[in-house]
Structure 1
Amino acid sequence: MDRAQPMQELERELQQKVAQLAALREIGRAINAAWELKATLDLITRRTAEVMDVDSCSIYLLDESGQFLVLKATTGLAGAAVGHARLRLGEGLTGWAAQQGQAVAVADAAGDPRYKYLPETGERLFCSLLAVPLVNQGRVIGAVNVQTRSYHEYTSDEVELLSLIADLAAGALEKAMLYDQMQRQIAELSTLAEVSETVTSPLYPDEMLELIVEMAARVMHAKACSLLLLDEERGELVPRAIRGLNPAYRSQEPIRVGEGIAGLVAETGQLIAVDDVRHDRRYRYRAFARQEGLCSLLCVPLRVRERVIGVFNCYTGEPHHFTREEIALFSTLANQTALAIENARLATSAAVVREMHHRIKNNLQSVIMLLRLQMAEGRHVPPEELLQEAINRVQSIAAVHEVLSHRGLQMVDVKELLARVAGGVVQNMAPSDSHIELSIEGETFALPSRPATTLALVINELVQNAMEHAFVGRDRGRIAVELGQEEEHWLIAVRDDGVGLPDASAPQSGLQIAETLVAEDLHGELRFERREGTTATIRIPRQLSGAA
């Protein structure tokens, strides 16, 4: 009877060993079949917890810096802690095992002075802990631990079993990490190729930037990305493309160079990485970041030949330490984007030069035509008066280009244009001791540059005619330019409160010029009415607003 009991214990231990070996073989086969890192991590933690009959199994891997162990997989700790919970190498029982390269087993972990509690993991539920290092080819790559909810003294066999699992797992994890890195590099190269194709495609600059920001967010696995360009005249960064952000981001208070994180990057030309913008005083939009769920930020300069032209931002939704590879990738994207922007600007500048050359040539021809008409009149007036009329006409054309320089090359704001033209004529022609009141009234509309130039010349002639004839013998008067519309026409009226039209038998050359321009160039009509002064009304088709 005494000899039977030891035999039963030996048989039980043998059966346990056989089961453990079978489990090790199963884990080994499964590990060797797995390639993706996440799948490999999940499989190791799940099968280890089953084989060792524990309540939790967790794997921590060293980050790129080699200073922190990051929780990568677990069966018992809080799932939200995966990827975020970190221990310094040597910190806590798991960190100690990794640093020392040896196992540590504690029946009451919280009572050990080396214990480090990570609140986000929820590991207060557990009592005992066994941790062993993950070592591959003599290099520590992390640690694996198991935990139970109850007090438990780990046997030497359990320590040996977890060490064997760790030895199997370390090689498989190294292989999976290399595979994961290779897949990441393929995705990055594909994105870089897409960006290269985008920057050489015939897209408009804004479309190109939106596409690049979208691709950057994808390859960086970012919650959001934004691209801001430098307005050198104002010294401010202006949002030009965003992805994953509320449109209200565009209407935030502008960032000046040297202010905030983006402003510092623009000023120094050096990138800045921030762990949590919600608590960084340098970040200007902390309330917006909390509202949008933004956390970590990588901000890199857009630089062309040592000149910063903007910044590129990458945001994560959770705390994230940007690796050297991530920084290098995002910086490469930024460099390609900066070159694309510069190329687009050069192309646009060339197009602007061609367009301006064409318009200036046309407008000079208009000036020549007007001067020839003036010569053909044969009027006997002082040379100063003739020169003043010519100056006013040239200034009317210049007003069109002034508006275009502020509004862009396509459409001209008519109300702003007529204010410049009429204001210039009144200022040039009003005697120093007179008071002529000018008003521009009504809702504005837009015209392409060619009909806008013609309209400017017509208004010049009408206001000039009013200044010459309406206020004879008076030192005060009023001129109003009024804008209106009908279903198919734009209306522009020039009213004065002067003495009315001169004798119809003596037609004025300026008015003849105005009538010709309205009829032939604007395909409209010009009518005069004498009632408490003179009203000249121009009716032009609304189709002109869409003219090329």
Structure 2
Amino acid sequence: MRAAVMGYNGIAMGKAHFHSINRTQQFLRSLDSLFAEAVRGSADVQHMLQSTLEAAVRVVEGRRGFLAIVNHETGELEVVCTTGEGWTEERKRLRLNLGQEGQRGITGYVALTGMPYVTGDTAHDPHHLRFFEDARSEIAVPILGAHGQARGVINIDSPENDAFDEDDIAHLAPLAHAAAVRMVIEGFRARETALVAIGQDLASTVDVDALVRKVVDLAADALEFEDCSVFLLDEQTEHLVLKATRGSLALQVGKAVYHLGEGLTGWVALHGEPVRLDDPVADPRWKGLFTEFPAAELGAFMAVPIESR
């Protein structure tokens, strides 16, 4: 009897071991393919993200999944890719509001914290939003940018309780990194295109106000800033005057003024040196005279001088 029991366990362990090897091989092939595609940039970003999501669902044996990207202008997570059962056109248009706790779900929680999340019992999970009745387990991993900020999230569910664990997170994280690499490369290309467009406008545009507005639009889009503003020096008064903005200061164009050396904006103009800060409010040069957001919500700041020759 003992021999029969031992023999049965041996077969079961053999099958589990074989399954584990197959899973690892499948994962490595998918990861290699995705990183190669990301580095070459041979396919568009949408195709790359879709391939990443499908590989992620396969490797953790989930039922369905989606990939959402952070929209910095609206403060929302927008679903850009889906796979698996049950996705209607309405569900594919899903948006999660990061600013409202009751509307962000597990995916939003991961986007805000930059940390992966697993639940084996969605019915009692405080973050879970029920979009699919058969989802019993859920796993989500962030797609992180260069400075640790979430660019997006991969979310996968299963009809089984306790379907995911730390090992699944370990498999999903590199796939998310591959997607992040492709998004970074696409960002470089967008910035290159923006700089070329600005250069062409500098050579052909005599309307300074129109040029400044275009510079603001291109910079905000290429760098994915929530807001971007341009101050120009009035040589008669030696004041920096707001000439264009993409944020809530639109009504202050032509009115908002910094003195040379005043605040971070004035300091950059006076010294001709760029500034990049993760916590601008803590900097002693910070004045906050004209801000697009409340000081408590301001996460980062960058300013560069515009030099004429």
Name the TM-score, length of structure 2 as normaliser. 0.61
**Alignment RMSD (CA, Å):** 3.0
Task: After superposition, give the CA deviation of every residue in 1:80-123 in whole Å (9 maximum; x if it has no partner).
Answer: xxxxxxxxxxxxxxxxxxxxxxxxxxxxxxxxxxxxxxxxxxxx
In structure 2, distance between residues paired with 1:408 and 1:264: 25
Residue correspondence of structure 1 range 2-401 to structure 2 within 5 A: 161=1, 163-200=2-39, 201-244=41-84, 245-256=87-98, 259-284=104-129, 286=130, 288-290=131-133, 293-304=134-145, 305-362=147-204, 364=205, 367=206, 397-398=210-211, 401=214
Does the CA-based 8 Å contact 2:52-2:176 persist in structure 1?
Answer: no
Identity, % of aligned positions: 20
Q: CA deviation at 1:199?
A: 1.1
> Contact 2:138–2:155 at 8 Å: present in 1 too?
yes
Q: In the superposition, relative to structure 1, how do residues 394 and 315 fare at CA in structure 2: closer, same or farther (>3 Å)?
A: same
The code of the aligned residue for 2:132 comes to A
Secondary structure of 1:211 counterpart: helix
- Cα distance in 2 for residues equivalent to 1:234 and 1:196: 30
Contact 2:141–2:153 (CA under 8 A) maintained in structure 1:
yes
Aligned residues between the structures: 215
2:77 and 2:95 in contact (8 A); partners too:
no
1:297 and 1:216 map into 2 onto residues whose CA distance is: 13
Residue 399 and residue 358 in structure 1: after superposition, are their counterparts in 2 closer, same or farther (change >3 A)? Answer: closer
Secondary structure of 1:186's counterpart equals: helix
How many Å apart are 1:403 and its aligned residue? 11
Q: Residue 189 of structure 1: CA displacement?
A: 0.8
The one-character-per-residue Cα deviations of 1:30-57 (angstroms, maximum 9, x if unpaired) are: xxxxxxxxxxxxxxxxxxxxxxxxxxxx
Closer/same/farther in 2, CA of residues 279 and 246 from structure 1, 3 Å limit: farther
The change in CA–CA distance for 1:307 and 1:407 in structure 2 (over 3 A counts) is closer
2:105 partner amino acid: G
Q: AA paired with 2:125?
A: D
CA distance 1:358–1:278, shift in 2 (3 Å): farther
After superposition, the Cα gap between the structure-2 partners of 1:356 and 1:214, relative to the gap in structure 1 and judged at 3 Å, is farther
Higher relative contact order, chain-length normalized (CA < 8 Å, sep 6+): 2
Residues 198 and 295 (structure 1), Cα distance of their counterparts in 2 relative to 1, 3 Å cut: farther
Letter in 2 for 1:316: S
Report the Cα offset of residue 333 of structure 1.
1.1
Bigger Rg, structure 1 or 2: 1
Could you tell me which runs of 5 or more consecutive residues in structure 2 were left unpaired when the two chains were aligned: 223-309
Q: Which string of whole-angstrom CA distances, capped at 9 and with x for unpartnered residues, describes residues 191-226 of structure 1?
A: 111211221232222222122212222233222121
CA contact (8 A) 2:140 2:153 kept: yes
Deviations 1:472-521 (A, max 9, x none): xxxxxxxxxxxxxxxxxxxxxxxxxxxxxxxxxxxxxxxxxxxxxxxxxx
TM-score (norm 1): 0.36
